[in-house]
Amino acid sequence: MNEKRPIVINEIYEAPKPDFMTKQRLSEELCRSTDYIDDLIKRGSLKEEIHFTRAGRTLTFYYPQIKKDLAPKLAEVV
């Protein structure tokens, strides 16, 4: 029971982000409003079957693709 374990100092654990997100969660990740997400969809910046899927009135967003496609654009806006 006297196992030696290394002590890690100043390491912050960040849980991995889920691949699929709701509009609310995506807006929090992008630090934008849900209206901004709606505008991205209306402008065509987010495309169905590439960036999100639709099941009835529910949208599910694919975060890895959105991050890949929009990260440079979001950096310019900020």
If DSSP codes are grouped into helix, strand and coil, which group holds residue 22?
coil
Domain ranges of the chain: 20-77
- Per-state percent for the chain, helix, strand, coil, to nearest 5: 40, 15, 40
Residue 9 pLDDT greater than 60, yes or no: yes
pTM above 0.85, yes or no: no
User: What is the predicted pLDDT for the residue at 28?
Assistant: 93
When pLDDT is cut at 50, 70 and 90, the band that residue 35 belongs to is very high
